[in-house]
Amino acid sequence: MKRRHFLSTSAAAGVVGSVSHARNGPKDLRRAGFMGIAKAGKDLPRTAKLKVAGDELRILQFTDIHFFCDRERFGEKADLQTVDDMKRMIENTSPHLLAITGDLWSDNPRGQGQKFFEYALEKITSLGKPWLFNWGNHDRLDDYATAQVTLTEAKNSLYRGGHDGGNYRISINGDDDRQLMELLCLNTTTQGVQAGQERWLTMQKPAASPVLCFLHIPLLQYDTVWQKKLAKGIFKEPVCTYGEDGSAIAKLKRFGDVKACFCGHDHVNDYSGNWDGIEMVYGRATGHAGYGANKLKKGGKLITAKLNDPKKNCTWKTVFADGSDWSPE
Ligand SMILES: [Fe+2]
């Protein structure tokens, strides 16, 4: 499927639990600026915690899985191939956590989004690892409020976005339960980071530990680092930031010591570059049904953070189901 058409159709870990009853269609949610304007269930926690034994945190990022994309052409074959690939990448890398950074399924044609969502959830939970989830612009259905409850309560889920429009924090703790890192999960909606997310960021208690940020649509600075030749890797399509105006990075820096952002969305870009102290890193698109397989091999991104390093600096590489990996020269 061509990108233009595609867009237009469009504990081992100690996992610790949002409820709302608003019913908003995609148009209302777009107008509101973010998906899932949901009120919190008072008996479920707002943040999640993941306890990690040892001194290394390994996160395997899968992005743009796009279940049910182009089923007329692929049938279920492409989706099953994607699941098989994910299983093999997990076996090869033994991650503590999976980061599912958006476009997990493909839209809501004729109200089928709920069915796609349930299929996706069954596949993700079957992987047997703790997981976080960012909303992508194609993750559409009719009832976002109920979906957020389902996401929160699903097996091994660290999703806690139901309180705050899909934005949430995850604490990474060591053996002694001391916090070592934080993961910041942003809902970039259909328009990139907007005023609603920036307001949420501004209202947050600043992070006391180094932070890794996960989001679907790239920040404007992803384009800047490539244009200014500060990035290394693969650039095969323009950076699609929609309406993000570049102001979010200042809010991130106020939030805490953000080491890196990991996004998806542009399936045939895979590069990273540093802007103002924050690494802008593309994930590798994972789903065989999504566009781009003819231009860039599908895979995942293994992120490794040294928890015994006071600065918690991290590294990353692209990994594939056949056990090989790739990093820029
Ligand atoms: Fe996307």
pLDDT tens for 197-236 read 999 999 999 999 999 999 999 999 999 999 999 999 999 9
pLDDT of 42 reads 56
Give me the pLDDT at residue 47, please: 85
Strand 179-185 relative to strand 168-173, pairing: antiparallel
Query: What confidence tens digit (pLDDT) does each residue in 92-107 have?
Result: 999 999 999 999 999 9
* Percent of the chain surpassing pLDDT 90: 76
pLDDT score of 145: 86
Residues with Cβ within 8 Å of residue 74, at least 6 apart in sequence: 288, 289
Query: What confidence tens digit (pLDDT) does each residue in 8-29 have?
Result: 333 223 333 222 222 233 333 3
For 185, the enclosing helix (H) or strand (E) is strand 179-185
CA of 45 to the centre of ligand 1 (A): 28
* pLDDT tens by residue, 267-299: 999 999 999 999 999 999 999 999 999 999 999
Distance, CA 229 to ligand 1 centroid (Å)? Answer: 24
Q: What's the pLDDT score for residue 308?
A: 87
53: Cβ–Cβ under 8 A, 6 or more apart, which residues? Answer: 175
Q: How far is the CA of 51 from the centre of ligand 1 (A)?
A: 30
- CA 4 to centroid of ligand 1, rounded, Å: 12
For residue 183, what pLDDT is reported? 98
- Over range 231-254, report the average pLDDT: 94
pLDDT confidence tier of residue 6, bands split at 50, 70 and 90: very low
Lowest mean pLDDT among 151-160, 174-183, 190-199, 261-270: 190-199
Q: What's the pLDDT score for residue 87?
A: 98
Q: How far is the CA of 9 from the centre of ligand 1 (A)?
A: 12
The residue to which tokens 């208690």 are assigned: 205
Parallel, antiparallel, or unpaired: how do β-strands 97-100 and 278-282 relate?
unpaired
Query: pLDDT tens-digit profile of 58-74?
Result: 999 999 999 999 999 99
Report the alpha-carbon distance of residue 156 to residue 99 in Å, rounded: 12
**In the structure, what pLDDT confidence band is assigned to residue 40 with cuts at 50, 70 and 90?**
very low
DSSP 205: P
| Residue that is written with structure tokens 């990353």 in the block | 316
The continuous run of DSSP H or E covering 113 comes out as: helix 113-125
Query: Cα(87) to centroid of ligand 1, in Å?
Result: 23
What pLDDT was estimated at residue 43? Answer: 61
Global confidence as pTM: 0.90
The whole-number pLDDT of residue 37 equals 41
Ligand 1 mean position to 178 CA, how many Å? 35
In this structure, what are the phi and psi dihedrals at residue 248, rounded to the nearest 5 degrees? -65, -30
Q: From the CA of 108, how far away is ligand 1's center (Å)?
A: 14
In the reported structure, the alpha carbon of residue 8 is separated from the centroid of ligand 1 by a whole-number distance in angstroms of 11
Using the mean position of ligand 1's atoms as its centre, give its distance from the Cα of residue 217 in Å: 6
pLDDT of residue 12: 28
According to DSSP, residue 296 is labeled: S
pLDDT by residue (tens digit) across 111-130? 999 999 999 999 999 999 99
pLDDT at 11: 29
Question: In order of start, what are the domains of the chain with their CATH numbers?
Answer: 3-326 (3.60.21.10)
**Per-residue pLDDT at 18:** 28
Residue 41 binned pLDDT confidence (cut-offs 50, 70, 90): low
Q: How far is the CA of 222 from the centre of ligand 1 (A)?
A: 15
Per-residue model confidence (pLDDT) at position 185: 97
| CA 158–ligand 1 middle distance (angstroms) | 21
